[in-house]
Amino acid sequence: MKKSILFSLYLIPVVLLIGFVANFSVNVPIDDEWRLANLFEKIATGNVNFNDFWALHSNHRILFPKIIIAVLAFASRWNINYQLCLSIGLAVITFIAMYSLSSIQVKKTGDDSWHLANILTCILVCSLVQYENWLWGFQLAWFLVNLCFVAAVYALLSNHKLLPSLRISIAAVFCFIASFSLAQGLLSWLAAIPAVVALEGNVAEKRKRLILWILLFFATCAIYSIDYHPSRKTSIISLLNKPIVVIDYFFSLLGSPIVRLSGISAFVGLLIFGIFLFLAVHFGRKISEHREALPWLSIGFFSVLSALFITAGRAEFGAIQAIESSRYTTNSILLLIALVQLGQLFVRGEIATTNRNYKVVYRLLAGLLIGIIIVNSGQAIAQSRSALIYKQGAQDCLQLINYLEQSDFLKNAPESCLRVLSKKTWLVREGAAIIDKIGWRKLAKNVEFISNPEKVYGYLDKPQTSNKSLTVNKNSAIKAVGWAVLPENLQQPNIVLLSVGERQSFFANAYVNLDSPDIAKTLKSELYNNARWAVDLSGNYLPIAQTEIKAWVYNPVDNQFVQLRGG
């Protein structure tokens, strides 16, 4: 019975994570993923070579993620959900490795702090605060790096009967993969040094292994630097002139998994960092007696080094960027996991025998952490839900891209569905042409335009242009509003498309996501509770002349653009 309860407690975070991804994922490439389209085209045509995988992506060499994503793309016709599933799988394997690490030299007495620490670890590994990475297939590299480092530490410190030289070789392979998955993967070599030194042997053997490990690190860096010409360069000197900005960013990064408020996040990050230093000193003084602490010291050290690396590259954007970018929490969470595990070792140690209150404090802090994670998960769900309509609209936008004009609205306006896919809309158009050519996506073609449908698909309430045209100039501002539905269709439209005059193409879009209880009441269905839409149009987006604006929805069943009445 007890085992079943414990298994359920371990399983709940994983099940909730799978449910979260299933509910809020959208099968559409986003941002950096579009840069991979050219690689896929070369693979499809047989013109790919090693340099295509080796080439820099921003400041990173993502050799192994490129290989993995390419395999998944060709296996699934670039279904992004395959990448999301792999991210979950990598995270689950990382937890299993952490669970195994926590079992090393730990006597499982009746003390429940061991399971409490591991359940907390599972909750943190699966935490929804990382929602950007969970819902963005390209970010599997973060989970891959974490797994590789934890696997390297496990190879070095686990109690199996492999020779130290073989364990170092296995760990080196994992660190090499991490190094060519994200730039901060290079830091895995440095963070693993305590584990390398802890391998059994005399002083001379330990010295030789350490020298070998450092040489492997420098060799990896040398390989990494071949033809290294990053597109974005950071001036360390300019950062040194802004020490407060750098410090604020660093601690905000460490505190972001707990709280994401300016100032408070930095304070929490400072507190987390201070507790880690205290525990590192406590266990480090007699590390030979506390070998079970070594994995968590290395994992915490890796998280701190990675945070410093990210700070060096991103501090110029200000601490608010560290707080708002949930993708960085996948790194910062490792430090929290290290604290959770080191904390349970601390309360089980000699100090705990002189003051049993330590266990009570640990359990209270664990409960507080679980409460914070629940609150953060609620916020992550709310943010993901609000972003869902825009991603679904972007998915429709991609399908209809052949009918979208090269308009200023679609290139620059925040409401543009193309800009959800990437702010570099030209990159989306190039990528869409490639995946259409390969045959991975069915982009809409030969769509029929229906101006006078028999059924009501909605109305263009404002501006009214049926009787007379609008006179547009560059200083004019027009607000287009209305409502739209797909009658007798469970899948309602995500976007409304706007055209000018008699053109059979669209210069702008609006999201169908505003409250419409009156529409739902009239049509007698709660399906239409969010059928209204609105969009602000600048005169810069329209022809400078008298013009007529029309609103349309796409009916995928009949492959038709249907005009809304009133336009």
For residues 30 and 137, give the distance between their C-alpha atoms in angstroms, rounded to a whole number.
8
Instruction: Evaluate whether 398 touches 434 at the Cβ level (below 8 Å).
Output: no
Cα 327 to Cα 1, 159, 253: the distances in Å are: 38, 34, 11
Q: Are strands 495-500 and 546-547 parallel, antiparallel or unpaired?
A: unpaired
- Angle at which helix 243-255 crosses helix 329-347, to 10 degrees, equals 70
Answer whether 359's CB lies under 8 Å from 352's CB.
yes
Question: What's the CA gap between 393 and 416, in Å, rounded?
Answer: 10
Sheet holding 549-555, edge to edge: 448-450, 560-563, 549-555, 495-500, 508-511
Q: Write down the pTM of the prediction.
A: 0.90
Are 337 and 279 within 8 A, CB to CB?
A: no
Render each residue's pLDDT in the chain as its tens digit; 567 residues: 777 888 888 899 999 999 999 999 999 999 989 999 999 999 999 999 999 999 888 888 999 999 999 999 999 999 999 999 999 999 999 999 999 988 875 554 445 678 888 999 999 999 999 999 999 999 999 999 999 999 999 999 886 678 888 899 999 999 999 999 999 999 999 999 998 988 887 888 889 999 999 999 999 999 999 888 776 666 565 666 677 888 888 999 999 889 888 888 889 999 999 999 999 998 888 776 677 888 999 999 999 999 998 888 787 777 788 888 888 899 999 999 999 999 888 887 655 455 567 778 878 888 888 888 888 888 999 999 999 999 999 999 999 999 999 888 888 888 899 999 999 999 999 999 999 999 898 899 999 999 888 888 989 987 754 444 454 555 567 888 999 998 877 788 999 999 988 889 999 999 999 998 988 888 888 888 889 999 988 777 666 555 788 999 999 888 999 999 875
